Amino acid sequence: MSDKPRVLVTRRLMPANEARLAADYDATLNESDDIMSTDEVIAAADGMDALLICVTEPLDANAIARLPDSVKAIMTLSVGLDHVDTDAAKARGIAVLNTPDAVTDPTVEIGMLLLLGAARRATEGAAIMRAREWDSWSPRMLVGADVTGGTLGIFGMGRIGRTLAKRARGFDMTIRYHNRTRLNFDDEAGASYYTSIEGLLEASPFLAITAPSTPETRKFLNAERIALLPDGAIVVNISRGDLVDDDALIDALKSGKVAAAGLDVFNGEPDNVRPEYLELPNVFITPHIGSAATDARTAMGDMLLDGLDLLLAGEPVPNRVV
């Protein structure tokens, strides 16, 4: 029997990560890359030192209670932790590791893509081209919103929010933000702090949602708050789908109160995304690919394995949540 740490990996990882797993660990890979059910994860976890999961394998309190005693760590290939009951893990003495720094730049790249795509009506333009319906040109054809020189309100000024602000400044955008606590002067980098979310919304013709999913932020963007946005506002969400009230946003997109939305995350993803988002021409969408860049995904896997090595050696783990 191998004396290497035993790791259950629930989805296929980047080739460099799998090569490291094969060399340094006694790893069980999910070769088919099919989503494993909770029962399958628990059964496969027997004798494992650690689980390396994704958002597709949620572990609630009941599931964590059923994990074998051998499991010392749950490693999630994500920043978000809404799919893992960290309190239940802590109660059992199971460490939880995530990947906070590795995803920042690629997620912000998708944020800027969504901002530009929504503002410049990219969904409609692509549809015309793919249908081979572009047969003329007009000064009023597909006229969108000016991003350069615009004003961007950011809800949530953590790593991703601050990096998004930095990229948006490249388009000479004015940055306004709301956060649980005000940033220090240097981190603000000229951004204006709003003590109330209501004040921020009223001053945000462009709005980016970058706050974490918590009980307090779920359905943050509801009908009452959408009503505070300037008419024709553009909304981008690169956080979690549950920060948005789908009914309210869809109604606003249909009425024109919100001119366009750029969305990478959804309630009910992937199987139960609201069909209106797929059908409305003023929605620019991507399938939760914020971290889907080669170097970033590889760095995420390495961060988790580095953390596991430190954990098993009894050393402090920088990316340990509990």
10-residue mean pLDDT profile of the chain (322 residues): values are: 90 98 98 97 98 97 98 96 96 97 95 98 98 96 98 97 98 98 97 98 98 94 98 98 98 98 96 97 97 97 98 98 96
Catalytic residue IDs: 240, 269, 288
> How far apart (Å, rounded) are the C-alpha atoms in residues 37 and 154?
36
> How far apart (Å, rounded) are the C-alpha atoms in residues 283 and 258?
10
Task: Report CA-CA distances (Å) from 45 to 23, 58, 105, 304.
Answer: 20, 14, 33, 17
* CATH numeric code, 6-101+293-312: 3.40.50.720
The pLDDT score that the predictor gives to residue 135 is 94
> How far apart (Å, rounded) are the C-alpha atoms in residues 10 and 7?
10
The pLDDT score that the predictor gives to residue 2 is 75
The pLDDT score that the predictor gives to residue 1 is 56
Class of domain 104-285: alpha beta
Q: The whole model's pTM is what?
A: 0.92
- Nearest by Cα to 94 from 68, 118, 114, 119: 68
Report domain extents, the chain: 6-101+293-312, 104-285
The pLDDT score that the predictor gives to residue 63 is 98
The pLDDT score that the predictor gives to residue 28 is 98
Q: Is 113 helix (H, G, I), strand (E, B) or coil?
A: helix
Q: Identical fold at 6-101+293-312 and 104-285?
A: yes
